[in-house]
């Protein structure tokens, strides 16, 4: 190591490999190089030779990367969810895998969820229909106690969603695998409290990570335990939802509306039945988009810290999948 002119301890000959399938990788590699002047930065070339990288910054990387690059000290994922990365069969299990922490996504997702919640709970579609018909009519304001909200998943994003909705005086509960304590939010933990959480929820918001334990968690049994005229807002992963179960719950009147931003198949196929259902609001996976500047500042800062032997946050517990 040596001390650089900007005051950082530089690790000489550090190599960083970018592998995210971007058709214009220079949008990433150039700022990475600027933020890590002490490193050599490479873009993944599927036909190239090993670069003997120390760190890889990836999004859904090919297995060939880990076959070729065998000196990696850590892998940094360009997203908070690592379910796509875990599908890579030869992902090294003996080095840290680091997920993205927020990077501007929590505020976006909170905005999206609140927009969907308010639009549905205040029945704004009625006013849009009245506008189209040239009708002026005022309807009775809602009672927030009639719209209890339940947030599944109390990670960084889920906590911000729950707190923000609670600040609007909705009754909010949260559920997670482990214990959490949030001001203004009633928290439930573990599978033995899941039914209690569902029983007091009308608007169910999913922000869970996708793991074997959470895959298909939005199913017929879960939906049946919600309060009548339930609403489902899914901003987690499409694989959390059993799609046929949702359609059946809408048909039998248990679920009044669903707002879906993620799907099992994306783009959503043109012949998918969701398109034809007025009870379903569809957005094309836009509830939160990665902010490049914030993302790269976070990742390169962690690479520098790790290279200097300092602890970093966001390291994935591979046994839990998040």
Residues labelled catalytic: 237, 285
| Nearest alpha-carbon partner for 307 in 3, 5, 12, 4 | 12
3-state secondary structure string across 253-298: CCEEEEEECCCCCCCCCCCCHHHHCCCEEECCCCCCCCCHHHHHHH
Q: What is the DSSP letter of 182?
A: B
Residues in the chain: 322
| Nearest alpha-carbon partner for 28 in 76, 62, 97 | 76
| Nearest alpha-carbon partner for 255 in 228, 287, 233 | 228
**275-281, Cβ contacts within 8 angstroms, sequence gap of 24 or more:** 277/247, 277/250, 279/250, 279/255, 280/250, 281/116, 281/257
Determine whether 105 is exposed, middle or buried from the number of CB atoms within 10 Å of its CB (0-12, 13-18, 19+).
buried
* Contact yes or no for 227/197 (Cβ under 8 A): no
- Cβ count near 274 (within 10 Å): 17
């Amino acid at each position: 190591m040596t001390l650089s002119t900007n005051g950082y301890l530089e690790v000489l000959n550090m190599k960083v490999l970018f592998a995210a399938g971007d058709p214009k990788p220079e949008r990433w590699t150039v700022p990475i190089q600027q933020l890590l002047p002490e490193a050599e930065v490479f873009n993944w070339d599927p036909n190239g030779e090993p670069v003997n990288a120390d760190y890889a910054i990836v999004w859904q990387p090919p297995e060939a990367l880990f076959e070729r690059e065998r000196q990696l000290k850590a892998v940094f994922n360009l997203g908070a969810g690592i379910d796509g990365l875990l599908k890579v069969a030869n992902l090294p299990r003996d080095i840290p895998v680091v997920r993205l922490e927020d990077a501007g996504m929590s505020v976006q997702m909170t905005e999206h969820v609140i927009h969907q919640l308010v639009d549905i709970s205040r029945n704004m579609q009625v006013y849009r229909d009245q506008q189209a018909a040239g009708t002026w009519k005022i309807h009775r304001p809602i009672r927030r106690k009639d719209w209890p909200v339940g947030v599944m998943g109390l990670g960084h994003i889920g906590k911000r969603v729950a707190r923000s909705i609670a600040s609007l005086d909705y009754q909010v509960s949260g559920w997670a695998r482990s214990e959490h304590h949030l001001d203004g939010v009633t928290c439930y933990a573990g599978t033995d409290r899941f039914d209690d959480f569902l029983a007091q929820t009308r608007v169910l918001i999913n922000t869970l990570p996708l793991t074997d334990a959470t895959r298909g968690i939005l199913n017929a049994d879960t939906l049946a335990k919600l309060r009548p005229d339930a609403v489902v807002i899914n901003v987690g992963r499409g694989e959390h939802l059993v799609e046929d179960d949702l359609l059946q719950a809408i048909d039998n009147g248990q679920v009044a509306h669903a707002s879906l931003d993620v799907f099992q198949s994306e783009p959503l196929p043109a012949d998918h039945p969701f398109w034809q259902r007025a009870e379903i609001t569809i957005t094309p996976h836009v509830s939160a988009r990665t902010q490049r500047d914030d993302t790269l500042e976070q990742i390169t800062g962690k690479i520098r810290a790790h290279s200097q032997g300092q602890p970093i946050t966001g390291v994935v517990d591979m046994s839990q999948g998040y």
